[in-house]
Amino acid sequence: MSNNDFMLDVGLANELKLAFRRTGYTCAEVKHLCERDILADIHRVLTGQAHIIDFSKENLIDCSGEPFTHQSFKVKSHKQGSSFVWNKTTCTSNLHRFLTQKMKHGITGYDFFKKLEKMPTANTCVLKYLLEHQEDIPESWKDKFVFFFGTIYYDPENGDQYVLCLNFYSPCGGDPGGWKWGAHRLLDNFNLHCYALTMS
């Protein structure tokens, strides 16, 4: 049946009425659905051509504040930003890695950092937020090491430079596991499990 042959019979009209009533629609809202291309957009979702983003899950992370700190490290550089709109549903698209990480030993942190030079890398204000709001971390990140190259640290004892990451640990022995932060030297290699988080 073509769209021109579409018929809204009594039974289907009643189903729609009950559905609108069940989901709390008002008459004005039903009328609004019929305006412009709203129903066309809903049809695209139903047919898999688009998806819905729940903006109620968005949070603003202040990236202009002080970086995550630890007694073992000093801050070498901290790329301050404004506010990062965090959405658990879409944030995975902000993860980046490079084909050169497929090499046998990956690439060094210095090479990784250089490739990200012109990108708005997230700083450790974001790491601090995620450690405090672990419910906002996507499940799909559990097999990844997510790095925050917007803040670089150094060890005052030997001068080694580090970047911090977020990763998930499985329970082991007396350790309950969970989301924790870690530090990787820029001299070390970064493989395909390593991703950089950017703000766009």
pTM of the predicted model as reported, rounded to 2 decimal places: 0.72
Report how far residue 36's alpha carbon sits from residue 79's, in angstroms, rounded to the nearest whole number. 43
Q: What does the pLDDT read at residue 49?
A: 85
pLDDT at 74: 96
Decide if 117 contacts 199 (C-beta within 8 A): no
Are 182 and 149 contacting, i.e. CB atoms less than 8 angstroms apart? no
Determine the Cα–Cα distance for residues 21 and 34; give it in Å rounded to an integer. Answer: 17
Residue 101: both structure tokens together: 């990480």
Largest interatomic CA distance in the chain: 80
The full length of the chain comes to 200
Tens-level pLDDT at each residue, the chain (200 residues): 456 677 788 888 899 999 989 999 999 988 888 887 888 888 888 898 876 655 555 789 999 999 999 888 999 999 998 889 899 989 999 999 998 888 878 999 999 999 999 999 999 999 999 999 999 999 999 999 999 999 999 999 999 999 999 999 998 888 888 999 999 999 999 999 999 999 98
What residues form DSSP beta bridges with 62? 83
Q: What is the C-alpha separation between 101 and 190, in angstroms, rounded?
A: 7
| Whole-number pLDDT of residue 51 | 66
Tokens at 52, concatenated: 């819905």
Which residues touch 96 (CB under 8 Å, ≥6 apart)? Answer: 116, 119, 195, 196, 197, 198
pLDDT of residue 81: 87
